[in-house]
Structure 1
Amino acid sequence: MKIRIKIVTLLNFLIIIFCNQTFAQNAVTKEILWTTDWSPNGKYIAIGGNVDTLKIYNSSNLKLYKSLLIKNTITRIKWHPTKNIIAVATQMSGDRSSIINIETNEKIELNAVSLDGARGIDWNYTGEYLAVTDNDGEILIFNIKGDLIRKFNNENTKTITAIDWHPKKDILITVSDKIRLFDINGNLLNSIKHRKEEIMILSVAWHNSGSFFVTGDYGDEKDKSLLQYWDENGKLLKCIDISKGEYRNLVWNPKGNSLATASDALRIWDIKGNLISEGYSKDYLWGISWNKQGDRIITSSMEENIILWNNKAERILAIE
């Protein structure tokens, strides 16, 4: 009898331990925050990822201002250059990519975008056009009302990971297996193979002048991820390989004298590709954005961490 009681007690003890371990594991499970963007008025920061929610924070204290339900996954968000509306790209989601008015919560679904979703989204420099690159390899141009203006193919490539408009012209850069430049009518202007290996490019950003652009790739089996500077005609200017993590996103500050990159650390570079500052991160950074003044950077990460930094890559505030 005593032996049976001891066995039952031991089993109960083991069950309790198992349940507690399972609960602890579930409690620390975190999702990827793919993307972030700062509002043009500087008041708000938008963040999205695998969390079924587009979250809007007050930029001064990172207090939650508003949450909007959007099913997994928000891959990219981009605030309109002058209006309080956000373009949202999604994949693996029951919700289409869309344009959302943050003040009224009005949502315009972009139904022409592939059901397989999209990775790239960006407003042109005037905010008149919105470009979306979907997972069928299509580039779609919409107006601000969500009407489809034009659609063309990215040289028969399925996955397009990012897109960026020229800051002064209606010219687009898309990145995937190659760098490709198009005009707004869909004419291919240039196609550039960025390295000998078959490596996906994840991010691209025109410099504010429009005279050059920068790309960041996924990296190879040796964890060599390249940050590359190119002139506007596609000539390689500089290649940097110090990062141990893929370059998920990169963005220039408003003055155009500093480039911030999200990878295994926050790094800030000058226009010639010299490293200015570096900020430690305990996990890989994915989303990144500057404020209008260029003195603050927001990042989102692989383990659902949100960090506010100054322009020297020093931490100011975090939600971890």
Structure 2
Amino acid sequence: MKNYLTLAILSASLFACKTPLQEYDFETILWTAAWSPDGRYVASGGNAEALTIWSADTWKVAEQHSFPQTITNTAWHPTQPKLAVTLHLTNKTSVIIDMETKQKTELPSVSPEGARAIAWSPDGRWLALGDNEGYLSLYTPQGGLERQVKVDPKAITGLSWHPDGHQVATVGSKLGFYNLETEGVETIDHRDTPVLMLSVAWHPSGAFLALGDYGDAEQKLAPLLQFRKPNGALIKSIQKSRAEYRNLRWSPDGKMLASASDGIRLWSVDGKLLGHALKDQYLWGLDWSPEGEQLVVTTAGGLVKVLGQDLKVLFSRP
């Protein structure tokens, strides 16, 4: 189905569009890319019903795992050989894969509508999952459910752990904060007009976070990138993208923020645009290599691309 998500192109009504975004099919969309903490592998997946593990040395396929329908997100455990995978558009639940034994452990109490947000805590003690009914669930590395709380009135589309491991920020219809110590929940509207958010990333210092939203073409609201304080107070709001901010990732040293939307952009800590590449590509997945020297992105057209910090493409794989 051509132009599955028309927002990537209809945003041209909001901007003078010199570089048209490439067309794509629903089946080719790759939602996610995740670089393993040891730097050896990259996981990618999307609507093609397959999880692909790439060798980061050769950029050849190391292994593949079949899944029913859409793989929405992936997250490597920081120290153990485990990979968490979220799914939707299927009656199967999200899983943790033991990458040594290949055993899949199903995660209980995930919404039947599926899930899109997942991340391990910095120490690897917890796996946080945000589902399509707005519940935030915390699991052990063995897949046991420890906590579940309603955070968003609609759905959780993205989440990020504070570097201290005591708080999770979520996005969806609202910006949410869950405190593990007090078990309290706070939510904030990031705009005067409700607009869905898709991505959130704490800065490695924990001093602030970045979030990206969908925009709303019908209301002529362009996608926004925002920086906010830990209490949710707005620091800066940036309007640069023609397409929604699918993913945000800080470099390991915290000096640059990468964003995936209409191409890849790099930003400074104060929100200055440092670079923009792949301007004709509609990007979904995004991650940094552990040392921060390279980035991997996935496209709506089914490509996996590896770039240097200068945003020059080093490898491209179908």
Q: Is the partner of 2:63 in helix, strand or coil?
A: strand
Higher relative contact order (CA 8 A, sep 6+): 2
Matched, 1:166 2:162: yes
d(CA) in 1 for partners of 2:26 and 2:213? 27
Matched, 1:54 2:40: no
Structure 1 residue 81: deviation in Å?
A: 1.1
User: Which region of structure 1 is more displaced relative to structure 2, 293-302 or 27-36?
Assistant: 27-36
Q: Where do 1:194-205 residues align within 5 Å?
A: 194-205=190-201
Structure 1 residue 186: deviation in Å?
A: 7.2
TM-score normalised by structure 2 residue count: 0.88
Q: Is the partner of 1:210 in helix, strand or coil?
A: coil
Partner of 2:311: 313
- Larger Rg computed on CA atoms: 1
Q: Is the partner of 2:101 in helix, strand or coil?
A: coil
Contact 1:190 1:234 (C-alpha < 8 Å) held by counterparts: no
Task: Calculate the aligned-residue CA RMSD, in Å.
Answer: 1.6
Matched, 1:84 2:49: no
d(CA) in 2 for partners of 1:174 and 1:275? 25
d(CA) in 1 for partners of 2:57 and 2:92? 30
d(CA) in 2 for partners of 1:241 and 1:115? 35
- Offset from partner CA, 1:260-299 (integer Å, 9 cap, x none): 1000010011111111111124321000000011110000
Partner of 2:111: 114
Partner of 2:180: 184
Partner of 2:213: 217
Q: Where do 1:4-153 residues align within 5 Å?
A: 30-153=27-150
Structure 1 residue 136: deviation in Å?
A: 2.0
TM-score normalised by structure 1 residue count: 0.88
Q: Which runs of 4+ in 1 moved over 4 A?
A: 27-30
d(CA) in 1 for partners of 2:301 and 2:31? 10
d(CA) in 2 for partners of 1:131 and 1:225? 26
Q: Where do 1:239-318 residues align within 5 Å?
A: 239-318=237-316
Q: CA, structure 1 residues 67+281, in 2 after alignment: closer, same or farther (shift >3 Å)? A: farther
Contact 1:41 1:292 (C-alpha < 8 Å) held by counterparts: yes
Q: Percent identity among equivalent residues?
A: 37
Q: CA, structure 1 residues 182+28, in 2 after alignment: closer, same or farther (shift >3 Å)? A: closer
Q: CA, structure 1 residues 34+194, in 2 after alignment: closer, same or farther (shift >3 Å)? A: same
Q: Structure 1 regions of 5+ residues with no counterpart? A: 1-26
d(CA) in 2 for partners of 1:240 and 1:253? 19
- Offset from partner CA, 1:26-81 (integer Å, 9 cap, x none): x9875210011000010100001111111000112320000011111111101111
Contact 1:212 1:232 (C-alpha < 8 Å) held by counterparts: yes
Task: Give the partner amino acid of 2:160.
Answer: D
d(CA) in 2 for partners of 1:46 and 1:169? 24
Task: Give the partner amino acid of 1:144.
Answer: P
d(CA) in 2 for partners of 1:53 and 1:207? 31
d(CA) in 2 for partners of 1:28 and 1:260? 25
User: Which region of structure 1 is more displaced relative to structure 2, 28-37 or 92-101?
Assistant: 28-37
d(CA) in 2 for partners of 1:29 and 1:247? 18
Task: Give the partner amino acid of 1:96.
Answer: T
- Offset from partner CA, 1:118-138 (integer Å, 9 cap, x none): 111111110000011111221
Q: Structure 2 regions of 5+ residues with no counterpart? A: 1-23
d(CA) in 2 for partners of 1:93 and 1:288? 24
d(CA) in 2 for partners of 1:158 and 1:219? 17
- Offset from partner CA, 1:181-226 (integer Å, 9 cap, x none): 1112673453211111221000000000111000000012136110
Contact 2:108 2:145 (C-alpha < 8 Å) held by counterparts: no
Contact 2:25 2:301 (C-alpha < 8 Å) held by counterparts: no
